[in-house]
Structure 1
């Protein structure tokens, strides 16, 4: 257990390196315009570690960095106290889910820069620590038998709805596939890692969790607090992203604010309420 804790603290250190460099490191450069492979003019940020990312994406990255510094502190705190209660262990792994998602976006979505090996290290450390901690939780008898007598249809439905929320990406993907034209916001990138992570991993695991809870399976109950914590984290990240984007002068269409931002924030608030109630049934 101590070795795992050391690895968790190492992850906290790596997040601080990525986050602080992402936010504060500057090269004194200015924004400049390039032409992408589709002949479109794209404005790049031109400064700091994200110099060769678009202004829009830099707003997303920096906003995420701010929130992840807070998540890293919380993760460190729960690492220190997780042995005191299984409730802390579930929240701890839920926070690590957000960290793994963050690391995946950095290593696959950010234009190659001097922190690339740090991104890879954070991704690898988060992935294997996640596997070890999740296996530990699954093996333990930490779910109250009282849950078997409870109807959790509302929670199960919420998990399914949360999973389906990532389908908001389809209106961006399907027209591109049918017309053969480049995606409207693909900018200088070849693909969007978020689409892969959300549709390929998040969607099926949330659907599976909801179905397992409806069937009153123990594994479903164990996934609930982890995935609810992750939704809460995403809700806060979305807020941070939009605050930073607005401060950078990025214009966010009203339909995006409603469809992509407001919806995830509402899901995060509901997840917080459900998680507080659900954790009462953790031994």
Structure 2
């Protein structure tokens, strides 16, 4: 890795740790309060810390994500230092970088404006360009071994397809809102949910395309598979962290959402760990 790209990765670590640490520990000693949103609904805002103007529900999600991202950032720092020692580390490194970009995107576009906004934007920019530089280099220079190319990972391709299709779960919130004209559930003080856009417009087609490429034994399929599996693992861990933080705040998650949005993603993440370990043995 070129030194300037390595320095960019270390900057990403610093920015992620700052954002996550402030999100978890910074407090203004405020208390929750209620406001009326643009849809005429009364919603409860968190009222404290950097997320004081976000809904109580969203603050729990953000804090849970922040807790996990501190450990992900530290792992990313270690991988930045050792990625040159083995090819498999390079793919894990990019997969974790994808999760950091996803994190920064959600912060930049998905929460109420706060004093960390410049950090969010800088982290978003740094992680976006780092992915462009590192992934393009990985796709162009690293070759697939003959041993790996001889193997046909049909099961892994099907799993990646299923994982990408899991983002369709968001349609249960989008379609009723579109048909009735009513605001989406948990929309709070926001106008839209960037997670829906990222998952349906980017994650879904990327996973479907990777699954097809891997099934056809295309080189790009072999290269993207460990990246996407690593990203899926981080999402599974993040979902667990979000749920634990919400539970600690007294937020009760309906059983259908617990099964469809929490347990399902956690199971996908667990399976992704197993498949990724098996897949990376060939690198």
In which range does the TM-score fall when normalised by the shorter chain?
A: over 0.9
- The SS at the match of 2:51 is coil
Aligned-residue RMSD, C-alpha: 0.7
C-alpha distance in 2 between matches for 1:151 and 1:247: 44
- The SS at the match of 1:249 is coil
User: Per-residue deviation at 1:16?
Assistant: 0.8
User: Per-residue deviation at 1:148?
Assistant: 2.4
C-alpha distance in 1 between matches for 2:120 and 2:142: 35
C-alpha distance in 2 between matches for 1:272 and 1:47: 36
- Point out where structure 1 has 5 or more consecutive residues left out of the alignment: none
Which residue of 2 is the match for residue 197 of structure 1? 198
Paired residues, number:
282
Which residue of 1 is the match for residue 71 of structure 2? 70
Q: Is residue 151 from structure 1 mapped to residue 152 from structure 2 by the alignment?
A: yes
Which residue of 2 is the match for residue 35 of structure 1? 36
Which residue of 1 is the match for residue 13 of structure 2? 12
- Point out where structure 2 has 5 or more consecutive residues left out of the alignment: none
- The SS at the match of 2:54 is coil
Q: Is residue 84 from structure 1 mapped to residue 85 from structure 2 by the alignment?
A: yes
C-alpha distance in 2 between matches for 1:163 and 1:204: 7
Q: Is residue 179 from structure 1 mapped to residue 209 from structure 2 by the alignment?
A: no
Which residue of 2 is the match for residue 252 of structure 1? 253
TM (norm. structure 2) is 0.98
Which residue of 1 is the match for residue 133 of structure 2? 132
String of CA shifts for 1:167-204, please: whole Å, max 9, x gaps: 00001100111111111221110000000000000000
Which residue of 1 is the match for residue 120 of structure 2? 119
C-alpha distance in 2 between matches for 1:182 and 1:231: 29
User: Per-residue deviation at 1:149?
Assistant: 1.9
Which residue of 1 is the match for residue 225 of structure 2? 224
- The SS at the match of 1:134 is helix
